[in-house]
Structure 1
Amino acid sequence: MTLQRMDNVGIVVEDLDAAVAFFTELGMEVEGRAQMEGLFADQAVGLDGVRSDIAMMRTLDGHGKLELAQYHAPAAIRDGSHNPPPNTLGMHRVMFAVDDIDDTIARLRSHGAEPIGEVAQYKDIYRLCYLRGPSGIILALAEQIG
C-alpha cells in the first residue's frame, strides 16, 4: 500500500466569506462549498453537534487545495494567541509560489493582509516573505528570480 497524494490542508477560519475572498485574490478558485453536519461530521471530526460551512479552494493547476472551515457549532476555540509567531509549534503556515511578490502583497493588503517581516532575498534565487491573513493564518510567498 502506498500513499496516493496529499489531498488538502484544512484551516479553520472565523469568517468563511472573507477567507474565500482572500484566497481568491491570491489566485485560488473555489472548487465547491458545502455545509457539514450530522452523524457523519461528528464521527469524522470527533466532536458532537458539528455544524460547519466549508469551502474547498484549489490552485489553478489543480494540484494544491485548501479546505477552509467555519464552525458554527461547536464554536471554534482560540488557543490563547490569535496571532502566534512563526516559530510556534504545530502547523501554521502555508507557502505559495507567485509570479510577482510585490503585486501579490499589494492585492492581499486590500483583504487585511499584513507583512510579518519584510521581503527578503535569498541569494539570486528567491524573494520570500511572511504575511498574516484572515483568522491569523500565516502565508509565505516565494518569487523565483533566478
Structure 2
Amino acid sequence: MKLKQVHHIAIIASDYARSKAFYCDVLGFTLLSEAYREARDSWKGDLALNGNYTIELFSFPNPPARASGPEACGLRHLAFAVEDIDDAVAHLARHGVECEDIRIDPYTQRRFTFFTDPDGLPLELYQQ
C-alpha cells in the first residue's frame, strides 16, 4: 500500500454553528458544502484550506466528551503551518482566542504555540 496524502480530518462539534464560525471566520477555512442529515439529526460541513478539502465538520446530538489534554491517548493535536506566528497569534487574540506562550522546537529551531477550538480540541501553529 502506498498512501498519497491525508484526505481529510473529521471533527465532531458540540455546537456546529459555533465551530463552523471558528474554523471559517477565525481560522480562514472555506465552507465548500454542507448538509443536514435529518435521520441522524446531524450537520456535515466540508471545509477547505487554500482550496484543498481538509476538514469534515460534524454535529451529533449530545456527543460524549473526549479527553483532549496534550498527553491523552489518541490524536494529540492538529497543527497548521504559518509564515508569521506573531501575526497569527495576534489575529487569534483579536478574535478572543488565547494561545500558550510561543516556544521553540529544540530539534528544528522553529517557533510554535498551542490553542484550542471551541470544544477544547488542541490546535497548534507552527512557523515554517
TM-score (norm 1): 0.73
Q: Aligned partners of 1:19 and 1:132: how far apart in 2? A: 11
Structure 1: give runs of 5+ residues left out of the alignment: 39-49
How far apart are residue 13 of structure 1 and its match?
0.8
Q: Which position in structure 2 is the counterpart of 1:122?
A: 105
Q: Which position in structure 2 is the counterpart of 1:139?
A: 123
Give the residue type in structure 2 aligned to 1:9. Answer: I
How far apart are residue 51 of structure 1 and its match?
1.9
Q: Which position in structure 2 is the counterpart of 1:76?
A: 63
Q: Aligned partners of 2:18 and 2:92: how far apart in 1? A: 12
How far apart are residue 137 of structure 1 and its match?
1.2
Figure out how many residues of one structure are paired with residues of the other and give that number: 126
Q: 1:122 to 1:77 in 2, by over 3 A?
A: closer
RMSD of the TM alignment (CA)? 2.3
Q: Aligned partners of 1:36 and 1:109: how far apart in 2? A: 34
Give the residue type in structure 1 aligned to 2:59. Answer: Q
Q: 1:21 to 1:103 in 2, by over 3 A?
A: farther
How far apart are residue 10 of structure 1 and its match?
0.6
TM-score (norm 2): 0.82
Q: 1:107 to 1:17 in 2, by over 3 A?
A: farther
Does the 8 Å CA contact 1:98/1:104 hold for their aligned counterparts?
Answer: yes
Structure 2 counterpart of 1:55, from 41, 45, 54: 45
How far apart are residue 112 of structure 1 and its match?
4.3
How far apart are residue 131 of structure 1 and its match?
0.9
Structure 2: give runs of 5+ residues left out of the alignment: none
Query: Percent of aligned pairs with the same residue?
Result: 26
Q: 1:129 to 1:66 in 2, by over 3 A?
A: same
Q: Secondary structure at the match of 1:114?
A: coil
Q: Deviations over 1:87-131 (max 9, x none)?
A: 11011411110122122222223444322x311123674211111
Q: Secondary structure at the match of 1:128?
A: strand
